[in-house]
């Protein structure tokens, strides 16, 4: 049986807001995910929310599906009738101030009625799919699956567990901001849900905007938080996030509603019109061109602490309530790797699994797997591993085309020992673009579309941030480590492995000065464990580096620059290589370097830019 799942491409007014983003498609064939990819990798528009036609065509091609008629089911990640659910008001009514009640109830009720009159139902999604793909699809073959149910399915059906507690948290999907369920086999039992405006995802997002970052930049705030002290603003965050005896929580509904209304009226990019209570407690919002001071770092630290304490409060109660020892997580909040590390180390669960595409792209996989297991009632084989290298690979002919196209600017060789040659370059301080096989699924580069550097060099963080990635200097980098050596270098308490870079954990104290480029200011790191089974070529390269240096770790970051998606085609890779100070590019088994005149011109251009390090110095970082 074949099931196509997709997300993005919302029809009508929801497409004008941030309701949909990170469009993607996934194909499941006989219970196995054969392909999954984000639309942005084809369109080159980061977080592309448009209908994922390119991604759909790719996954079908990869799965050998020549026509949509061959599909048994098409599933979509969003159910319009669930928008403006009464729970958005009733669940927070007793925590809402008298004057704020109409501001929540009236718009919610009015929009619910408008959607019904205007025909915002699941037939609308079906028609939008037919229009975008230019085909007719029988109604019975098209099904909408609630957003958070897709998140649950994505993480549980991708996990190694027969049963588990599943927790999803994000800003909002339809009306829901969190779902807690117990999954067993193919049965998913929903225990409780939280409704926006009671949303940890919205809170983190709005404070990120307050700190001068763009939408989808929450990960930058997580990276900034270790430089701050949470104490100065702890009381404020405790006042706006109440913890309840049943494990629940309430994020100040009046505050979130006001900020949501501001977005609806003037857009999320505005740096004005913050509620007086917020500016009184935190001071004025930081403008994008202003220095990031110790005050902003302290706010970030307080926000991060608040998130961690709230989610751990919820987890403790859910674990006692269910007795489950396995935890699965998804939703945008589950990409907060620092929080994930705290959960893993808490001892609440024996094992924890987080979907590698925990953000909205992952709902395409969840929709497809839910369709296969729950709607088509097909059994689940927990031994089936879907993996993460699910995107496009490009044939050797495409590599050859790229070499010809850029011949005037590059020179290339094919060494007899690829791994030792590249390891030697890394040892000498060169930055390497590493492009191999099928592209990774999700937001992390995991050894097939990666930029690599020597983690032993403290200056490498600045080199890669500013001469290569073109991004803020306080941003941390992740270490890739041989799985067989990981416990010697990192404190893996609560974790068996970390293949998807989704946990921040302590670096062993005696190793922190040996890998300074990937060790955060608080002594932690977002580690990726690499096995020969998972990625044979990447594992061999790490082994070659260890043989030369004695260190089984190097820096691994995604192959892209700020504001652009991870490279897809060989041509994308060469263009990125030529526009940055990456020293060496490896396409399959071919090593590419810039011609001397090209490298010299680029170096002079970067020198003229006078880019600041962006590091935190004396409590301030200039962005």
pLDDT at 439: 98
User: What is the rounded distance in angstroms from the CA atom of residue 151 to the CA atom of residue 484?
Assistant: 31
Spatial CB neighbours of 442, under 8 Å, sequence gap ≥ 6: 355, 356, 357, 358, 359, 361, 362, 388, 500
pLDDT at 589: 96
Section 449-462 average pLDDT: 94
Q: Are residues 148 and 284 in the same domain?
A: no
Q: Are residues 323 and 470 in the same domain?
A: no
Q: How confident is the model over 389-398, as pLDDT tens digits?
A: 999 999 999 9
Identify the domain containing residue 288 by its residue range: 192-354
Percent pLDDT > 90 in the chain is 83
User: What is the rounded distance in angstroms from the CA atom of residue 450 to the CA atom of residue 587?
Assistant: 11
Q: Are residues 59 and 196 in the same domain?
A: no
Q: How confident is the model over 54-81, as pLDDT tens digits?
A: 999 999 999 999 999 999 999 999 999 9
Q: Are residues 370 and 412 in the same domain?
A: no
Could you tell me if residue 172 is inside a domain? no
3-state secondary structure 220-271: HHHHHHHHCCCHHHHHHHHHHEEECCCCCEEECHHHHHHHHHHHHHHCCCCC
Q: Are residues 427 and 525 in the same domain?
A: yes
Q: How confident is the model over 91-107, as pLDDT tens digits?
A: 888 888 887 888 888 88
Q: Are residues 411 and 284 in the same domain?
A: no
Q: How confident is the model over 370-387, as pLDDT tens digits?
A: 999 999 999 999 999 999
pLDDT at 462: 85
Could you tell me if residue 89 is inside a domain? no
> For residue 333, is it left (φ>0), alpha (ψ between -120 and 50) or beta?
alpha
Is the Cβ–Cβ distance between 285 and 274 less than 8 Å?
Answer: yes
Long-range contacts of 231-238 (CB under 8 A, 24+ apart): 231/298, 231/302, 232/295, 232/298, 232/302, 233/281, 233/282, 233/298, 233/299, 233/302, 233/303, 234/302, 234/305, 234/306, 236/281, 236/282, 236/302, 237/302, 237/303, 237/305, 237/306, 238/306
pLDDT of 294 > 70? The answer is yes
Spatial CB neighbours of 103, under 8 Å, sequence gap ≥ 6: 254, 257, 258, 261
Q: Are residues 426 and 566 in the same domain?
A: yes
Confidence category of residue 617, pLDDT binned at 50, 70, 90: low
Q: Are residues 129 and 237 in the same domain?
A: no
User: What is the rounded distance in angstroms from the CA atom of residue 141 to the CA atom of residue 364?
Assistant: 16
Residues in the chain, total? 623
What Cα–Cα distance (Å) separates residue 255 from each residue in 226, 251, 299?
Answer: 26, 8, 17
pLDDT of 134 > 60? The answer is yes
Going by C-alpha positions, the residue among 248, 291, 147 that lies closest to residue 621 is 291
Q: What is the CA radius of gyration of the chain?
A: 24
Is the Cβ–Cβ distance between 398 and 569 less than 8 Å?
Answer: yes
pLDDT of 443 > 70? The answer is yes
Could you tell me if residue 7 is inside a domain? yes
Q: Are residues 339 and 443 in the same domain?
A: no
Could you tell me if residue 137 is inside a domain? yes
Could you tell me if residue 381 is inside a domain? no
Q: How confident is the model over 542-563, as pLDDT tens digits?
A: 999 999 999 999 999 999 998 8
Beta strand residue intervals within 103-248, DSSP E: 142-144, 163-173, 176-184, 187-195, 241-243
Q: Are residues 369 and 289 in the same domain?
A: no
Look at the block and give the residue holding tokens 């001892």: 347
Spatial CB neighbours of 533, under 8 Å, sequence gap ≥ 6: none
One DSSP character per residue, 83-110 reads: TT-THHHHTTGGGS-GGGHHHHHHHHHH
Pull the structure tokens for residue 115.
Answer: 């959607």
Confidence category of residue 567, pLDDT binned at 50, 70, 90: very high
Confidence category of residue 301, pLDDT binned at 50, 70, 90: very high
Q: How confident is the model over 517-541, as pLDDT tens digits?
A: 999 999 999 999 999 999 999 999 9
| Residue 422 DSSP SS3 | helix
Q: How confident is the model over 472-495, as pLDDT tens digits?
A: 767 789 999 999 999 999 999 999
Q: How confident is the model over 13-66, as pLDDT tens digits?
A: 888 777 788 999 999 999 999 999 999 999 999 999 999 999 999 999 999 999
User: What is the rounded distance in angstroms from the CA atom of residue 25 to the CA atom of residue 23?
Assistant: 7
Quote the mean pLDDT of the chain: 93
H or E element that contains 597: helix 596-609
Spatial CB neighbours of 518, under 8 Å, sequence gap ≥ 6: 455, 476, 477, 478, 479, 525, 553, 555
Q: Are residues 64 and 131 in the same domain?
A: yes
Percent pLDDT > 70 in the chain is 95
Going by C-alpha positions, the residue among 295, 589, 557 that lies closest to residue 443 is 557
Pull the structure tokens for residue 469.
Answer: 């990635």
Confidence category of residue 615, pLDDT binned at 50, 70, 90: low
Q: Are residues 316 and 441 in the same domain?
A: no
């Amino acid at each position: 049986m074949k099931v196509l799942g997709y997300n993005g491409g919302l029809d009508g007014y929801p497409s004008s807001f941030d309701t949909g983003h990170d469009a993607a498609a996934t194909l499941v064939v006989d219970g196995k995910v054969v392909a999954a990819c984000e639309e942005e990798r084809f369109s080159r528009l980061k977080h592309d929310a448009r209908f994922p036609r390119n991604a759909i065509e790719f996954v079908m091609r990869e799965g050998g599906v020549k026509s949509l008629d061959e599909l048994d089911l098409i599933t979509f990640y969003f159910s319009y009738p669930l928008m403006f659910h009464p729970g958005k008001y009733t669940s927070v009514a007793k925590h809402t101030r008298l004057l704020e009640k109409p501001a929540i109830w009236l718009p919610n009720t009015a929009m619910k009625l408008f959607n019904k009159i205007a025909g915002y139902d699941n037939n609308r999604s079906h028609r939008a799919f037919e229009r975008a793909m230019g085909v007719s699809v029988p109604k019975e073959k098209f099904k909408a699956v609630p957003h958070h149910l897709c998140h649950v399915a994505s993480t549980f059906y991708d996990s190694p567990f027969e049963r588990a507690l599943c927790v999803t948290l994000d800003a909002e999907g339809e009306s829901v901001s969190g779902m807690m369920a117990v999954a067993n086999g193919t049965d998913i039992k929903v225990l409780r849900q939280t409704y926006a405006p009671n949303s940890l995802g919205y809170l983190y997002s709005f404070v990120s905007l307050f700190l001068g970052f763009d939408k989808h930049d929450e990960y930058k705030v997580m990276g900034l938080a270790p430089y701050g002290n949470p104490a100065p603003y702890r009381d404020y965050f405790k006042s706006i996030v109440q913890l309840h005896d049943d494990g629940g929580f309430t994020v100040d509904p009046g505050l979130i509603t006001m900020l949501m209304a501001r977005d609806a009226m003037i857009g999320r990019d505005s740096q004005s019109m913050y509620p007086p209570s917020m500016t009184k407690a935190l001071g004025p919002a930081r403008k994008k061109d202003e220095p990031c001071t110790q005050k902003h770092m302290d706010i970030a630290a307080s926000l991060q602490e608040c998130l961690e304490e709230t989610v751990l409060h919820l987890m403790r109660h859910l674990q006692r309530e269910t007795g489950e020892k396995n935890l699965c997580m998804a939703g945008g909040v589950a990409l907060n790797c620092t929080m994930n590390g705290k959960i893993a180390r808490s001892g609440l669960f024996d094992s924890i699994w987080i979907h590698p595409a925990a953000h909205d792209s992952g709902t395409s996989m969840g929709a497809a797997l839910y369709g296969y297991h729950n709607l088509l009632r097909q059994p689940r084989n927990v031994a089936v591993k879907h993996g993460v290298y699910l995107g496009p690979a490009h044939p050797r002919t495409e590599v050859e085309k790229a070499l010809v196209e850029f011949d005037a600017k590059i020179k290339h060789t094919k060494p007899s020992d690829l791994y030792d040659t590249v390891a030697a370059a890394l040892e000498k301080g060169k930055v390497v673009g590493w492009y191999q096989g099928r592209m990774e699924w999700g937001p992390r580069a995991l050894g097939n579309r990666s930029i690599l550097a020597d983690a032993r060099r403290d200056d490498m963080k600045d080199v890669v941030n500013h001469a290569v990635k073109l991004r803020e200097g306080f941003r941390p980098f992740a270490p890739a480590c041989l799985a067989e050596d990981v416990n010697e270098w990192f404190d893996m308490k609560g974790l068996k492995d970390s293949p998807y870079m989704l946990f921040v954990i302590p670096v062993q104290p005696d190793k922190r000065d040996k890998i300074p480029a990937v060790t955060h200011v608080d002594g932690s790191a977002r580690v990726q464990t690499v096995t020969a089974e998972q990625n044979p070529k990447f594992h061999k390269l790490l082994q070659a580096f260890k043989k030369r240096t004695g260190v089984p770790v190097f820096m691994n970051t995604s192959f892209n620059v700020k504001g652009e998606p991870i490279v897809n085609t060989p041509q994308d890779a060469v263009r990125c290589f030529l526009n940055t100070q990456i020293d060496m590019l490896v396409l399959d088994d071919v090593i590419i370097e810039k011609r001397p005149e090209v490298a010299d011109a680029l170096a002079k251009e970067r020198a003229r830019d006078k880019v600041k390090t962006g590091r935190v110095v004396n409590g301030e970082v200039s962005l």
